[in-house]
Amino acid sequence: MTSPRNRKQPAAIGAGAALLTLALSGCSTTAGQPASDTSAPQPTIVATEVAQVTTVHEATGMTLLEGPTFSDDGLLYLVDVTAPPGSPKVHRINVDTGESSSIYTDDQSALTSAQFNPADGRLYVTDFLGGRILSMTAEGEDPRVVFEGEIEGAQMSPDDLSFDDAGAMFVTDAAGALAPYWEPTGRLVRVSPDGATADVLASELASPNGLAFTPDSSGLWVTLNTGNQVDYLTLADDGTSVATAHPAIRVDAGKAQIDSAAVDADGNLYVGLHNRAAILVYDPDGSLVAEVVVPDDAGVSSATNIAIQPGTTNGFLTASGEEGGFVYAFEALGEGIRPSNGG
């Protein structure tokens, strides 16, 4: 998820949302130089509109769709980060018909990502403003606080979320997203499946944003929003600490910043962009192999997140801008799997 433009803030959201709209844009060791994506032109895949889900909110001055994730019955769920209190915050879309409906709202959160937990089947969302992880049913009912509170003396600013096969939560803490990249304070956090314990896996990160496990769960990609870099990590056998980490991909994005991430069954990595309506696609070795673009006349300025429908090559991205929040479709390079839901 990424930093929205400045605008007037309603009293209902206050200074916290002002910080959110500026800050959300959004493990490195020095194991060699990361791959660079400065190379010959790559194939361009033009995305097509599926549905307009939201318009710009008068109260917040914008809309920002994030966290696309598929349920087992093929419906696409996503969140609207800047929805004001009482407005729809979790949406459900039929990608075949383009029909959408709201399933959840509240008066206090800024939801930044969504994922279905493979262990209990519930929908989990991150609340950036509250520093919490919530869960609910697929109908938006029975909301529960799964985790909140300080981690090693500091409250988390949770951005994106991924699960391992056992249901442990891996969360990017986008703390310090307003700071220059050379003053990194972000973290990568692991929360136990029951929400009882949380461990900092990596710290002093340049506004970590997206994260995605490799298809075999042996590695974890983490995007650094203010660093425009993708790091690659491996975990210890018990998953509670980092075994190795290195800068893997350096993204030459100009004025844009990298955002959320997803992988397909072939190990290709899809990286969303803020301030440019495009998705960058890298092969498992970190070479740029394709670019997914939203048409220039679409009225959107960012394409921040991605999901690929499991068992198909039907890719979908969230795009937001002055015309509202949209879902676009594209042909992915590989089939979707569980880690193909981008935070």
Mean pLDDT score, 293-310: 97
Per residue in 56-97, pLDDT tens?
999 999 999 999 999 999 999 999 999 999 999 999 999 999
Q: What is the band of 6 on the pLDDT scale with cuts at 50, 70, 90? A: very low
The answer to whether residues 318 and 326 touch, using CB atoms and an 8 Å cutoff, is yes
At 20 the pLDDT is 54
**What 3 state SS string does the chain have?**
CCCCCCCCCCCCCHHHHHHHHHHCCCCCCCCCCCEECCCCCCCEEECEEEEEEECCCCCCCCCCEEEEEECCCCCEEEEECCCCCCCCCEEEECCCCCCEEEEECCCCCCEEEEEECCCCCCEEEEECCCCEEEEECCCCCCCEEEECCEECCEECCEEEEEECCCCCEEEEECCCCCCCCCCCCEEEEEECCCCCCEEEEEEEECCEEEEEECCCCCCEEEEECCCCEEEEEEECCCCCCEEEEEEEEECCCCCCEEEEEEECCCCCEEEEEECCCEEEEECCCCCEEEEEECCHHHCCCEEEEEEECECCCEEEEEEEECCEEEEEEEECCCCECHHHECC
Q: What is the band of 149 on the pLDDT scale with cuts at 50, 70, 90? A: very high
For residue 11, pLDDT beyond 60: no
At 254 the pLDDT is 94
The answer to whether residues 160 and 304 touch, using CB atoms and an 8 Å cutoff, is no
For residue 159, pLDDT beyond 50: yes
**Mean predicted lDDT score pLDDT of the chain:** 90
Q: What is the band of 10 on the pLDDT scale with cuts at 50, 70, 90? A: very low
At 268 the pLDDT is 98
At 26 the pLDDT is 41
Percent of the chain with pLDDT strictly greater than 70: 87
Six-digit token string for 319: 């795009």
The answer to whether residues 293 and 276 touch, using CB atoms and an 8 Å cutoff, is no
Domains (range + CATH), the chain: 14-340 (2.120.10.30)
Q: What is the band of 33 on the pLDDT scale with cuts at 50, 70, 90? A: low
Q: Nearest Cα to 265, choosing from 163, 339, 165?
A: 339
Six-digit token string for 132: 């919490």
At 179 the pLDDT is 85
Flag whether the pTM goes above 0.75: yes
Per residue in 283-292, pLDDT tens?
999 999 999 9
At 341 the pLDDT is 84
Percent of the chain with pLDDT strictly greater than 90: 84
Residue 179 or 294, more confident:
294
Q: Nearest Cα to 20, choosing from 41, 5, 33, 42?
A: 5
At 37 the pLDDT is 58
**Euclidean distance between CA atoms 177 and 19, whole angstroms:** 9
For residue 242, pLDDT beyond 60: yes
User: What count of residues does the chain have?
Assistant: 343
Q: Half-sphere exposure (CA, 13 Å, Cβ side) for 298?
A: 27
**Euclidean distance between CA atoms 263 and 269, whole angstroms:** 5
Residue 241 or 26, more confident:
241
At 22 the pLDDT is 47
Mean pLDDT score, 12-33: 42
For residue 25, pLDDT beyond 80: no
End-to-end CA distance of the chain: 9
**Euclidean distance between CA atoms 64 and 80, whole angstroms:** 5
For residue 321, pLDDT beyond 80: yes
The answer to whether residues 224 and 208 touch, using CB atoms and an 8 Å cutoff, is yes
Mean pLDDT score, 262-283: 98
Per residue in 193-224, pLDDT tens?
999 999 999 999 999 999 999 999 999 999 99
For residue 140, pLDDT beyond 80: yes
For residue 112, pLDDT beyond 80: yes
**Euclidean distance between CA atoms 92 and 51, whole angstroms:** 11
Q: What is the band of 133 on the pLDDT scale with cuts at 50, 70, 90? A: very high
Q: What is the band of 28 on the pLDDT scale with cuts at 50, 70, 90? A: very low
Q: Nearest Cα to 248, choosing from 226, 222, 268?
A: 222
